[in-house]
Structure 1
């Protein structure tokens, strides 16, 4: 369970998966929240005012950074206002997106209120992206699309991070040339994580061995010569090291068989809710979560 000392949250950063719907169907996704939508939240997201209350309570409780995730958070029609609210509350703001919905208008709206943008890039090969389900309307992106997107985000003054999930489909791929060209400040490399009830039944053919993951990471470290920080996270590093809030406004963890959810923040408050899940500050710091 999370240990709170001196009225502090166990970690500084909270990930708010505010939006269950997504416009992609990645086979490895461990944040599908089909269970949430099928039981407690039929629409897959809180009403706008409730989401705003959750963000306000998280800030009041002592979190200093909030990452908006999904699903795909840019499907939320009021995501810009929610980010603006978080920024006004003094939080460092971040967004994790598949990048498919970012246009010039979105970038203009994010300028000045969003500190970090994380783009999920698992491959720059359209065939591989199609194989894992990272595509929209039967179309997958390519290297040119991702490089152009990264350039436009950085030109707008946003700090760039790239997330890559290593699976059986891409573990032999060398992304270092793309990463050097994209020049993110951080490159987070995840080992594909199986979670019962989230990606079970789809993820199994995509699982990798510890050796395959380690070799992908070792091959990728060459980008550090260009000032890009490589942050690898195997399954053990991921589990229990994040403060995460689901689309229904509950903290959750993946310590057991599938996700375990707290009582809703709007019912019991942040301190009681976060105490009902496991968040290890030691593991959070060990994986470089403080930045």
Structure 2
């Protein structure tokens, strides 16, 4: 019998380690590392098997996230595996390891690159912990990274998490300069076991988040799609795989994990978590590029 997953895209958090320490991060997976996966990632062969299982199950777009996925030595092999099976591919990165040489490794295999840009202000980046070795990037560095992507065939998306730290800042001029295909603006999300005890000072109300979006909306160029995700949009609308190869959901205020797809396969594992297709479609999650 043919099987189709409840949504077309899946986010595989392939690498738990990260070289930044953002205080409100809701994908730390310290619980995964301390309980089932001491290394914080699958082996190369296990990860390749997981990707193959995902695309054979019918996922049409695979997003590789972390931690910081570019820390994974075999990430390019995972991306190419997904691409060879006809899926669209995407990597979400903090940008610290990005270079022209690195991007060349992904030629004809990577469709989307998502750059996380919460702020261009050094004090803000220091405050939220978005630094490598105690040093944050600056506006010129982020701009240079976007220009690296611009000269490739990879489509650029920028992700911004709105928190108390950057609530009053303005990214509109930067967004107009780099012209990403999509700019996703997300309300900082509290998740027990991931960022509890750290995220609380950074939470913003729905009204404050809406004011941030309203301030930027008329200033974004027509060439950029502004995607807005409130806390409610972020809950239960994603198919997500943890570093151990388990689906997980965030519908209970914390992460609830399935069995590993390496042990029981995709259909059984995904049936053990909650994913709302209606919310997935409502937030625009079904977009993808035509397969060529």
Rounded Cα–Cα distance in structure 2 between residues aligned with 1:222 and 1:231:
13
1:250 aligns with one of 243, 246, 249:
246
Aligned to 2:60: 64
Rounded Cα–Cα distance in structure 2 between residues aligned with 1:60 and 1:78:
20
Aligned to 2:290: none
1:95 aligns with one of 87, 91, 96:
91
Shift of 1:127: 1.1
Once superposed, which parts of structure 1, at least 4 consecutive aligned residues long, lie more than 6 Å away?
none
Q: Write out aligned runs for 1:39-54 (5 A).
A: 39-54=35-50
Rounded Cα–Cα distance in structure 2 between residues aligned with 1:222 and 1:68:
31
Q: What is the TM-score normalised by the length of structure 2? A: 0.96
SS in structure 1 at match of 2:108 = coil
Instruction: Give per-residue Cα distances to partners, 1:56-95, cap 9 Å, x unaligned.
Output: 0011111010000000000001111111111111110000
Rounded Cα–Cα distance in structure 1 between residues aligned with 2:13 and 2:50:
12
Aligned to 2:146: 150
2:33 maps to 1:37: yes
Shift of 1:218: 0.6
2:10 maps to 1:14: yes
2:219 maps to 1:227: no
Q: Write out aligned runs for 1:159-238 (5 A).
A: 159-238=155-234
Q: Alpha carbon RMSD of aligned pairs, Å?
A: 1.1
Q: Write out aligned runs for 1:135-146 (5 A).
A: 135-146=131-142
SS in structure 2 at match of 1:226 = coil
- The runs of 5 or more residues in structure 2 that have no matched partner are 288-292
The more displaced of 41-50 and 80-89 is 80-89
| 8 A contact 2:99–2:148 mirrored in 1 | no
Aligned residues: 287
Q: What is the TM-score normalised by the length of structure 1? A: 0.97
